[in-house]
Structure 1
Amino acid sequence: MQDAAIRITKPPAFNITRGTVAGASASLVGIGLARFAYTPLLPAIIDAHWFAASTAAYLGAANLGGYLAGALLGGYLARRANATHVLRAMMLLATIAFVACAFPLSFSWFFVWRFASGLSGGALMVLAAPTVLAHVPPSRRGLVSGAIFAGIGLGIAASGTIVPLLLLQGVKQTWLGLAAIALLLTLAAWNGWPKHDAHAHTAPAHHAKHRKHSGFTLRALYAEYALNAIGLVPHMLFLVDFVSRGLGKGLDTGAQYWVLFGLGAIAGPLLSGHLADRAGFGPALRVAFVIQIVAVVLPLIGTSPALLIVSSVLMGAAVPGIVPLALGRVNELLAHHPAAQKGAWSTATTGFAVLQAGAAYGMSFLFTQNGGNYQMLFAIGAAALALALSVDLFAALRGNPENS
Structure 2
Amino acid sequence: MSDAHTPSLQPWQVITGGICGLVLTLGLARFVFTPLLPVMQLQTGLTDAAAGGLAAINYAGYISGALAVAWIDDSRWRHRLYGLGLWLALLTTAAMALTTWMPAWALSRYLGGVSGAAGMLLGSGLVLGWLMRQGRRPELGLYFIGIGLGVVVSAAGAWALSFYWTLWSDQWLAFAAIGLVFFVPAWLWRPPVPPAPAPAVSGAVVPLISRRWMLTMAGSYFAAGWGFVISATFTVAIVEREPALAGQGALAWALVGLAAMPAVFLWDKVARRWGDTRALLLAFGLQTLSVVLPAVSGSLAAALMGAIGYGATFIGIVSMTLSLVGRRAPQNPGKAMARLTLSYGAAQMIAPVVAGAMAQATGTFKGALWLTAAVMAAGMALLATLPQDEPQTP
Q: What is the TM-score with the length of structure 2 in the denominator?
A: 0.85
CA contact (8 A) 1:217 1:396 kept: no
Partner of 1:362: 354
Quote the offset at 1:307 in angstroms.
Answer: 4.1
Partner of 1:11: 7
Match of residue 90, structure 1, among 81, 85, 94? 85
**Pairing of 1:31-46 with structure 2 (within 5 A):** 31-46=26-41
SS at match of 1:140: coil
Q: Deviations over 1:266-313 (max 9, x none)?
A: 333233234334444333222212221332343455555444433220
* Distance in 2, Cα, partners of 1:251 & 1:55: 22
State yes or no: 1:182 paired with 2:179.
Answer: yes
Q: Indicate how the Cα distance of structure 1 residues 394 and 256 shifts in structure 2: closer, same or farther if over 3 A, else same.
A: same
Aligned-partner residue type, residue 215 of structure 1: R
State yes or no: 1:281 paired with 2:272.
Answer: no
Q: Which structure carries more helix by proportion? A: 1
State yes or no: 1:220 paired with 2:216.
Answer: yes
Aligned-partner residue type, residue 285 of structure 1: L
Quote the offset at 1:16 in angstroms.
Answer: 1.9
Match of residue 352, structure 1, among 344, 347, 357? 344
Partner of 2:142: 147
* Distance in 1, Cα, partners of 2:116 & 2:6: 31
* Distance in 2, Cα, partners of 1:42 & 1:305: 20
Q: Which shows bigger deviation, 99-108 or 14-23?
A: 99-108
**Pairing of 1:378-397 with structure 2 (within 5 A):** 378-396=369-387
Match of residue 263, structure 2, among 257, 268, 272? 268
Considering only CA atoms, is the larger Rg found in Structure 1 or Structure 2? 1
- Which residues of structure 2 form unaligned runs of 5+? none
Give the % identical residues: 26
**Pairing of 1:1-400 with structure 2 (within 5 A):** 8=4, 11-12=7-8, 14-49=9-44, 52-53=46-47, 58-79=53-74, 81-104=76-99, 106-137=101-132, 140-142=137-139, 145-167=140-162, 168-169=164-165, 170-198=167-195, 199=197, 203=201, 205=203, 210-211=207-208, 214-245=210-241, 247-299=242-294, 302=297, 304-334=299-329, 338-369=330-361, 371-372=362-363, 374-396=365-387
Q: Indicate how the Cα distance of structure 1 residues 384 and 160 shifts in structure 2: closer, same or farther if over 3 A, else same.
A: same
SS at match of 1:394: coil
CA contact (8 A) 2:257 2:311 kept: yes
Aligned-partner residue type, residue 386 of structure 1: A
Q: Indicate how the Cα distance of structure 1 residues 86 and 106 shifts in structure 2: closer, same or farther if over 3 A, else same.
A: same
Quote the offset at 1:402 in angstroms.
Answer: 9.1
Higher relative contact order (CA 8 A, sep 6+): 2
The alignment of Structure 1 onto Structure 2 pairs a total of residues equal to 386
* Distance in 2, Cα, partners of 1:309 & 1:187: 34
CA contact (8 A) 1:67 1:353 kept: yes
* Distance in 2, Cα, partners of 1:76 & 1:173: 38
Q: Deviations over 1:113-142 (max 9, x none)?
A: 232111111222111011011121576333
Aligned-partner residue type, residue 332 of structure 1: R
SS at match of 2:259: helix
CA RMSD of aligned residues (A): 3.2
Quote the offset at 1:31 in angstroms.
Answer: 0.9
Quote the offset at 1:101 in angstroms.
Answer: 2.9
